[in-house]
């Protein structure tokens, strides 16, 4: 099969796991258009029109798309079902590959980029090519996205990256008690030799609710402990979607499901017997 690609690849990314509904139309690693709607937490109402508007603004016909990507969560259960169902059905009806990405990874990338004043356009090359190492020798920073999951819990994960790199995952997405999560991070930091420690540790996303708990890391990190409140943007979702799709990665369409990170309450009760 001739795999030569003549025209630039255009992809559509969306994420509805948080209060902000985001859509991005990408050409290779570059953002053509994005939509972000936070007015009403009713993503089922505005998702398709947001997609239509983003495509229109980008001047891209839906039949020109080469792939669809969606945040699979974690986050609002209803929200991630809206995004995943939409992406799966669009991919099925347009006969395109579909790729899921972590909504926390997108939140982490966007928040860290904002906190370190790196424009998201700067990651275009990183999203298209084999992951180019960042600025040689520059020490990695830690990125810890937070989404409130109520009752002292957060959806969170741990990533590291040097400027210019897309974050690499160190810990899986999960729902964790914020206090215990901070203790675990403290233990991990303390176990590193001082010179191997991250130059900065960024908490991003819903930091307003959980920032106080993270202050427990201040003695270890001093000025290296950073907070960047951040609402997801289309560009971050677009980069992570493009990264997977452009690398030729996709998910099995019929079995792509949200990453809830936990059983439903009824199932959990059942397992407890």
Partner 1 sequence: MNSNQLSNPPKPGQDSYILAIETSCDETAVSVVKNGRDVLSNMIFSQIETHKAFGGVVPEVASRKHVESITVMLEEAVEEAGIPLDQLSAIAVTQGPGLVGALLVGIMAAKSLAFALDKPLIGTHHIAGHIYANRLVQELEYPCMALVVSGGHTELVLMEQEGHFHLIGRTRDDAVGEAYDKVARALGFPYPGGPYVDQLAMQSETEVKLPRAWLEPDSYDFSFSGLKSAVLNAVNQSKMRGETPDQSGIALGFQASVMEVLVEKAIRAVRETGAVQLLLCGGVAANQGLRAALTARCKQESIALLVPPLKYCTDNAAMIGAAAHLKWLHGEFVPQTMKAEPGLSLEAWSVQS
The verdict on whether omega for the bond into residue 74 sits within 30 degrees of 0, i.e. cis, is yes
Cβ–Cβ < 8 Å for 101, 107: no
Q: Is 64 in the site for partner 1 (CB under 8 A)?
A: no
Q: Is 209 in the site for partner 1 (CB under 8 A)?
A: no
Could you give the CA distance from residue 85 to residue 72 in angstroms, rounded to a whole number?
Answer: 10
Strands 67-71 and 98-101 come out as: parallel
Phi-psi group of 111: left, alpha or beta (phi > 0 → left; psi -120 to 50 → alpha; rest → beta) = alpha
Is 128 strand, coil or helix? helix
Q: Which is nearer to partner 1, 78 or 183 (CB)?
A: 78
Surface-to-core class of residue 95, CB atoms within 10 Å of its CB (0-12 exposed, 13-18 middle, 19+ buried): exposed
- Which residue in the set 9, 28, 66, 77 belongs to the binding site for partner 1 (CB under 8 A)? 77
Least CB distance from residue 196 to partner 1, whole Å?
41
Total binding residues for partner 1 by CB under 8 A? 34
Q: Is 78 in the site for partner 1 (CB under 8 A)?
A: yes
Least CB distance from residue 38 to partner 1, whole Å?
17
Least CB distance from residue 83 to partner 1, whole Å?
8
Q: Is 271 in the site for partner 1 (CB under 8 A)?
A: no
Q: Is 113 in the site for partner 1 (CB under 8 A)?
A: no
Task: Name the residues that contact partner 1, by CB under 8 A.
Answer: 42, 44-49, 51-52, 62, 77-78, 81-82, 84-86, 88-90, 92-94, 253-255, 257-258, 260, 264-267, 270
């Amino acid at each position: 099969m001739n795999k030569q690609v003549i025209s630039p690849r255009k992809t559509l990314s969306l994420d509805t796991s948080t209060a902000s509904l985001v859509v991005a139309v990408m050409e290779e690693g570059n953002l053509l258009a994005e939509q972000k709607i936070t007015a009403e937490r009713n993503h089922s109402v505005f998702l398709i029109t947001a997609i239509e508007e983003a495509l229109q603004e980008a001047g891209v016909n839906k039949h020109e798309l080469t792939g669809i990507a969606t945040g699979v969560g974690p986050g609002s259960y209803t929200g991630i079902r809206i995004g995943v169902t939409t992406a799966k059905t669009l991919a099925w009806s347009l006969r395109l590959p579909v790729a899921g990405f972590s909504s926390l990874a997108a939140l982490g990338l966007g928040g860290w980029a904002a906190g370190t004043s790196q424009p998201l356009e700067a990651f275009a090359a990183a999203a298209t090519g084999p992951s180019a190492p960042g600025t040689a020798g520059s020490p990695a920073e830690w990125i810890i996205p937070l989404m409130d999951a109520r009752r002292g819990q957060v959806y969170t994960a741990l990533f590291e990256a040097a400027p210019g790199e897309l974050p690499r995952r160190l810990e899986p997405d999960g729902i964790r008690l914020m206090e215990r999560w901070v203790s675990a991070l403290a233990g991990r930091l303390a176990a590193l030799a001082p010179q191997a420690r991250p130059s900065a540790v960024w908490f991003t996303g819903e930091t307003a609710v959980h920032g106080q708990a993270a202050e427990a890391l201040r003695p270890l990190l001093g000025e290296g402990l950073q907070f960047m409140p951040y609402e997801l943007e289309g560009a971050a979702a677009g980069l992570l979607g493009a990264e997977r799709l452009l690398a030729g990665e996709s998910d099995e369409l019929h079995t792509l499901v949200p990453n809830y990170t936990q059983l439903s309450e009824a199932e959990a009760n059942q397992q407890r017997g």
